[in-house]
């Protein structure tokens, strides 16, 4: 418990550094925020109005003053309004979140269903035909950029076979299939390798040889010990993937018009919509901290040696 | 057998690089010459991959596009592997405050999903292949510095380094003579395996419109431009896509064999 608290305290400076960096980064490019806003709305304005608009947004004040006033508002949960839509940033962000969470869940489930059985059989039938076939496909999957997979899927499933709509205007079951497969292919390819390596590692341990020597059936060893042990590692890896998926997948969400936070970020970046970008960066920072904490804690929980080492020191 | 594989893949990888370097002389047509009367021709013997919206020969554009994609990727991997390694060695060797600062910065870089961070950097710097390279370089070096730092830490305390130190070697000599030669292998493997990934990320940035700008031919931006024509003229999208796929496969295979050759311990087949 004490450890958890120290960990959280350690994380606070990193969070502040991230807020500062994101703020600084956006301001460095941000000499034209107001011009950009005018451009987006298509208005033509005079020099005076321009200055007034800059004053209204507080852009004429010194950099640090701007930062602290922004940070202060942020701590109160106020992220300002979007330069483009004029809507509350926090509300906009929350409205995009369910789509991303849904896509995260579906692609993780897809990946688990594909990669765990294939990875295990690849390890069990090591250097046999099955292993080669599985490894071949995982290799191919690893070498495909996801925008290429998306477009190929679109071409065959939506255009040639007309099974699915091309563009996902709304969040529903039909529309989630293609983004899920796209993300799932890349992740499964990676995880099959990981699962295979973990299971192989486990299979070569002494207790497996011992159990074999005592005449325990191989399937019993596999199911009762090896897979159970391997899952520990795999679940930790999955936690990391969930983190990165929750950050939204910029390309896949944009291609399929899936209305999640990744697409929101890409749109905001191309429109220079700073408040939205900053909200997004804060979201990433939170995910990063959570994922780090979870992996750290899970290692300590799963591996008693780390806990012991900590107690001694 | 293993040696044969290495030679074959090294040859293929070299072939791709050579095609990229000598692209100008290999194109059957001028990749930028427009001929609106010949737009969207299906693949034929005259135009092996068909033509695009402006009647430009796709095959020539794919070859020229490879020049940008591949040379930029190689440059990118070169930059990040060298700078990341230097940073990692310094961080691991000297430790202390330097180490802490470097590790926190690399934590920060790893905190964001790479592509989105690169997107933000590219958006600030503006479009263009070289800006995309800078953006990806800024976030990708920690991969190498972590490998280099870990290895440096484990070598630093070994007896032969202690002996060299006793014999009067200074820090630079220790790093140059004992540490660098011992970590160059794993770094090389990481770099070789990284080429494919980096190529995909660079093409991804271009695909989102933040890498190469039209009319420059680049695989990612070519796919993005042809996207709306997927329904009627799929070759405009599929040809550069297949080109990316084939090059990534070859570089990945090459990386795998290099790993097996240099580092027998991590042999995939065990």
Say yes or no: A47 and A131 in one domain: no
Q: Is residue A223 part of a domain?
A: yes
Q: Which of A75, A90, A116 is the last residue of a domain?
A: A75
Say yes or no: A125 and A195 in one domain: yes
- The predicted pLDDT at position B113 comes to 57
**Does residue B13 have a pLDDT over 80?**
yes
CB atoms within 10 A of CB A88: 16
- B234 Cβ under 8 Å from any chain A Cβ: yes
Q: Is residue A85 part of a domain?
A: no
**CB-CB under 8 Å, B223 with A151:** yes
Domain count, chain B: 1
- The predicted pLDDT at position A312 comes to 45
Q: Please, what is the average pLDDT of chain B?
A: 82
Say yes or no: A306 and A173 in one domain: yes
Low-confidence residues of chain A: pLDDT under 50: 31, 311-313
**CB-CB under 8 Å, A21 with B112:** no
Say yes or no: A130 and A228 in one domain: yes
Residue A221, CA distances (Å) to A24, A121, A227, B95, B143 in order:
56, 14, 9, 45, 37
Domain that holds residue B192: 2-33+46-269
- Chain B contact set for A14 (CB, 8 A): 104, 107-108, 111
Angle at A37 between CA A36 and CA A43, to 5 degrees: 105
The mean per-residue pLDDT over the stretch B150-167 comes to: 86
Cα of A311 vs its chain's centroid, Å:
34
Domain count, chain A: 2
- The predicted pLDDT at position B81 comes to 94
Q: What would the pLDDT profile of A40-85 be if each residue is shown by its tens digit?
A: 566 666 777 777 766 766 666 777 787 888 788 777 777 777 777 7
Please tell me which of the candidates B124, B224, B230 has its beta carbon nearest to residue A154.
B230
Say yes or no: A48 and A134 in one domain: no
For A10, which residue in chain B has the nearest alpha carbon? B104
**CB-CB under 8 Å, A269 with B120:** yes
Rounded CA gap, B115 and A281, in Å? 13
Say yes or no: A215 and A129 in one domain: yes
CB atoms within 10 A of CB A143: 24
Q: Is residue A90 part of a domain?
A: no
**Does residue B18 have a pLDDT over 60?**
yes
Q: Which of B13, B112, B251 to probe by mutation at the A interface, max A CB count within 10 Å?
A: B112
- How many percent of chain B have pLDDT more than 70? 87
What confidence category does residue B270 fall into, taking pLDDT thresholds of 50, 70 and 90? Answer: very low
Please tell me which of the candidates A139, A154, A265 has its beta carbon nearest to residue B116.
A265
Please tell me which of the candidates B108, B220, B252 has its beta carbon nearest to residue A18.
B108
Domain that holds residue A66: 2-75
Rounded CA gap, B143 and B146, in Å? 6
Say yes or no: A69 and A173 in one domain: no
- The predicted pLDDT at position B85 comes to 93
Say yes or no: A165 and A250 in one domain: yes
Q: Could you check whether the bond before residue B215 is cis, i.e. omega within 30 degrees of 0?
A: yes
Say yes or no: A55 and A170 in one domain: no
Look up the CATH number of the domain holding residue A241. 1.10.3720.10
More confident residue, B204 or A57: B204
Q: Is residue B260 part of a domain?
A: yes
Which ipTM score applies to this complex?
0.79
- The predicted pLDDT at position A296 comes to 72
Tokens for A70, please give them.
């922004």
Q: Is residue B6 part of a domain?
A: yes
- The predicted pLDDT at position A110 comes to 92
What are the beta bridge partners of residue B51? Answer: B57
- The predicted pLDDT at position B27 comes to 75
Say yes or no: A108 and A71 in one domain: no
Look up the CATH number of the domain holding residue B202. 1.10.3720.10
Q: Which DSSP category does B206 fall into?
A: H
- B147 Cβ under 8 Å from any chain A Cβ: no
**Number of residue pairs across A and B with CB atoms under 8 Å?**
110
Say yes or no: A127 and A162 in one domain: yes
Closest-CA distance of chain B to residue A134, Å: 13
**CB-CB under 8 Å, B223 with A147:** yes
Say yes or no: A157 and A19 in one domain: no
């Amino acid at each position: 418990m004490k450890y958890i608290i120290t960990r959280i305290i350690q994380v606070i400076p990193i969070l502040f550094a991230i807020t500062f960096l994101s703020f600084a980064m956006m301001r460095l490019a941000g000499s034209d925020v107001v011009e950009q806003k005018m451009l987006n709305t298509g208005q033509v304005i005079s020099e005076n109005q321009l200055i007034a608009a800059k004053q209204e947004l507080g852009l004429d004040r010194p950099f640090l003053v701007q930062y602290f006033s922004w940070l202060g508002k942020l701590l109160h949960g106020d992220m300002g309004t979007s330069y483009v839509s004029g809507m509350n940033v926090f509300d906009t962000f929350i409205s995009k979140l369910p789509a991303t969470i849904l896509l995260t869940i579906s692609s993780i489930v897809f990946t688990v269903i594909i990669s765990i059985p294939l990875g295990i059989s690849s390890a069990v039938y090591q250097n046999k035909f099955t292993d080669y076939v599985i490894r071949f496909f995982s290799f191919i999957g690893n070498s495909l950029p996801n925008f290429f997979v998306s477009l190929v899927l679109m071409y065959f499933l939506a255009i040639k076979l007309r099974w699915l709509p091309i563009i996902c205007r709304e969040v529903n079951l039909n529309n989630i299939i293609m983004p899920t497969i796209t993300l799932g292919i890349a992740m499964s390819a990676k995880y099959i390798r990981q699962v295979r390596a973990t299971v192989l590692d486990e299979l070569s341990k002494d207790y497996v040889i011992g159990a074999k020597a005592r005449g325990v059936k191989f399937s019993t060893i596999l199911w009762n010990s090896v897979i159970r042990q391997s899952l520990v590692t795999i679940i930790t890896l999955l936690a990391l993937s969930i983190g990165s998926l929750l950050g939204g997948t910029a390309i896949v969400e944009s291609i399929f018009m899936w209305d999640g936070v990744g697409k929101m970020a890409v749109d905001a970046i191309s429109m220079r919509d700073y408040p939205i970008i900053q909200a997004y960066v804060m979201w990433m920072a939170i995910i990063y901290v959570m994922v780090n904490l979870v992996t750290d804690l899970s290692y300590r929980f799963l591996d008693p040696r780390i806990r012991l080492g900590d107690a001694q020191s | 057998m293993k040696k044969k594989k290495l030679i074959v893949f090294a040859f293929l990888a070299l072939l791709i690089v050579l095609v990229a370097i000598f692209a100008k002389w290999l194109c059957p047509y001028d990749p930028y010459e427009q001929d609106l009367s010949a737009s969207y021709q299906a693949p034929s013997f005259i135009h092996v991959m068909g033509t695009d919206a402006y009647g430009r020969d796709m095959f020539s554009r794919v070859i020229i596009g490879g020049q940008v994609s591949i040379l930029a990727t190689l440059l990118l991997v070169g930059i990040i592997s060298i700078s990341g390694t230097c940073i990692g060695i310094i961080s691991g060797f000297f430790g202390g405050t330097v180490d802490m600062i470097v590790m926190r910065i690399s934590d920060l870089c790893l905190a964001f999903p790479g592509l989105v961070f690169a997107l933000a950097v590219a958006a600030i710097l503006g479009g263009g292949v070289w800006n995309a390279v800078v953006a990806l370089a800024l976030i990708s070096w920690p991969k190498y510095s972590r490998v280099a730092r870990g290895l440096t830490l484990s070598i630093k305390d070994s007896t032969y380094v202690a002996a060299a130190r006793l014999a009067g070697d200074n820090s630079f000599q220790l790093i140059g003579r004992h540490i660098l030669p011992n970590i160059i292998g794993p770094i090389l493997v990481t770099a070789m395996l990284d080429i494919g990934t980096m190529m995909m990320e660079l093409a991804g940035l271009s695909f989102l419109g933040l890498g190469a700008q039209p009319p420059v031919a680049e695989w990612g931006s070519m796919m993005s431009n042809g996207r709306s024509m997927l329904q009627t003229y799929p070759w405009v999208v599929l040809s550069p896509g297949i080109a990316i796929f084939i090059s990534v496969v070859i570089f990945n295979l090459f990386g795998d064999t290099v790993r097996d050759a240099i580092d027998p311990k991590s042999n995939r087949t065990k």
